[in-house]
Amino acid sequence: MKPQSRRRFLKSTVGGGLGLLVLPAIIPARLFGADAPSRKLHVAQIGCGRMGCSDLGNVLTEPLARVVAVCDLDAKRLAAGKQMAEDYYTDLGESDVNVKAFSDYRDALASPEIDAVIISVPDHSHALVAIAAAIAGKHVYVQKPVTYSIAEAIALRKTVEAKQIILQTGSQQRSERPWRSFRAASEAVRNGRIGQLRTIQIGIGLDRASGKKPSPMSVPPNLDYERWLGPAPEQPYTITNWGSHHVDIAQWAMAQELGGPLTIDARAKFFQRDLVTVHGAYHVELLYPKNVRVILDHKFPTGIQFEGDEGWVFCTRSEDNSDGKPPLRASDKKILAPLDGNAVRWSPSRTHHGNWLESIVANRPPIAPIQQSARSLEACAAAWISMKLKRKLTWDVATERFVGDDAANALRDRPARKPEYDIKVVMQKAGLA
């Protein structure tokens, strides 16, 4: 293909408004092929559960993607994911569609046919699979929370930067669809529409006890429970997070997407002798630069309310708006009036999966890069650590450690159950530790 035709193709693919930068360190040659169908990124879906099928359904419709493989350690979910992808292409008129099925993510990552992966596995395995994918040179879309612990977030960021791959965090509230309310509210705050920001109130709902005591169950024959546990502590099989979504938007709005809180003071009631091991009632206070207070409380309505000297603005998801009020509202309609040409504006992101694919092709940061999602994770994890220790903590944003607090710093990480699930071992083998 001639250089000028390749440039025209990329511009038409990602849209002229996004601009064209240097090509990524890792970009498949098929994007420059002569036949149109080959001009797609080959994607594998890792994890075919509830969120996995949602991610799979979204990426199937993206014109830049071709789903070539699915992966799950549950045989039933694996078969369902494969069927879903094959049915989609068959319904488009294709014949003899064959989407590969892997029961082990490591086999999927070893495939040279795969350019990028979507990781929708349980939270406790996000870092392990994402780090392995980056080391394998695959571009990554990983569901939130981006990792389980602070140390994992730092390790994943280091790996992504070393391997020069594009990672998109599944913080889809940053994209225009399906909830533009978060972009509009955070842009208004960032541009001073409510005056000096003073307080951010965040409601993330309330988990409730199941009323059932934990008891061992037989492991279904279709599930590889050993690998499902991965790095998590061993425990009997039973069947049983929203903070990172809203804290991410809060930090975005106040220009702290690469920063974090100065102090954290959190309290919560954790369920005892229940199948559910998370907390119920909670109250969290985070103090940020410029004396901005971020408060999370189970009594607040689900959503984010930004309060300033000159007004307030509230945003939530439409389906969480049970009171019948608009999901985006403000104390004065002028707060949400169109911004002028000199205003701070978020980069275009029509859909979250589409933004990820476009970013890979254009070699630009996606709308939710690891450098920022790691910081959102740190704020949420710090709140959990404060809950566990039942006291106020001081956080050093520069070192990403608690100040003078060995007990709190010990909770920044957790030991892996076995060496094969230890991200430190994985990174050492790749020369990154």
Same domain assignment for residues 245 and 390:
yes
Residue 421 belongs to a domain: no
Share of the chain above pLDDT 70, in %: 89
Average pLDDT score over residue span 341-367: 96
Please tell me whether the overall predicted TM-score, pTM, comes out greater than 0.85 for this model.
yes
Can you list the alpha helix ranges (DSSP code H) found in 257-405?
352-362, 370-389
Please report, to the nearest 10 degrees, the dihedral formed by the alpha carbons of residues 323, 324, 326, 332 taken in order: -70
End position of a domain, from candidates 153, 174, 195? 174
When pLDDT is cut at 50, 70 and 90, the band that residue 276 belongs to is confident
Residue 267: phi and psi, rounded to 5, are -135, 145
Taking phi over 0 as left and psi of -120 to 50 as alpha, with beta for the rest, 307 belongs to: beta
The verdict on 75 and 160 lying in the same domain is yes
User: For 22-45, b where at least 16 C-beta lie within 10 A, e where not — what string?
Assistant: eebebbbebbbeeeeeebbbbbbb
Q: Are the CB atoms for 108 and 117 separated by under 8 Å?
A: yes
Hey, what are 297's tokens?
């409380």
In a domain, 430, yes or no: no
Q: What is the pLDDT of residues 224-252, one digit of tens each?
A: 999 899 998 876 654 445 678 899 999 99
Are residue 158 and residue 216 in the same domain, yes or no?
no
**In this structure, is residue 239 part of a structural domain?**
yes
Between CA 356 and CA 30 the distance in angstroms is 18
- CATH for 159: 3.40.50.720
What is the C-alpha separation between 102 and 92, in angstroms, rounded?
A: 24
Mean pLDDT over 361-369 rounds to 97
The pLDDT tens digits for 306-317 are 999 999 999 999
Q: In what order do the strands lie in the sheet with 116-119?
A: 100-102, 65-71, 41-46, 116-119, 139-142, 167-169
248 and 158 within one domain = no
The number of folded domains in the chain is: 2
Query: Per the domain annotation, does 320 fall within a domain?
Result: yes
CA distance 30 to 66: 12
Helix (H, G, I), strand (E, B) or coil at 375: helix
- Report the candidate in 139, 111, 133, 112 with the shortest Cα–Cα distance to residue 121: 133
Question: Do residues 264 and 188 lie in contact, with contact meaning Cβ atoms separated by under 8 Å?
Answer: no
CB of 24 closer than 8 Å to CB of 363: yes
Same domain, 192 and 302: yes
Looking at the structure, do residues 385 and 300 belong to the same domain, yes or no?
yes
Mean pLDDT throughout 152-179? Answer: 96
pLDDT score, position 13: 38
**Helix (H) or strand (E) run with residue 394 in it:** strand 393-396
Q: Which of 13-22, 61-70, 302-311 has the lowest mean pLDDT?
A: 13-22
Containing H/E element for 100?
Answer: strand 100-102
Structure letter (DSSP) for residue 380: H
Q: Provide the domain limits for residue 32.
A: 3-174
Question: Quick check: is 26 in a domain?
Answer: yes
Judgement on whether residues 29 and 73 belong to the same structural domain of the protein: yes
Does the residue 288 lie in any domain? yes
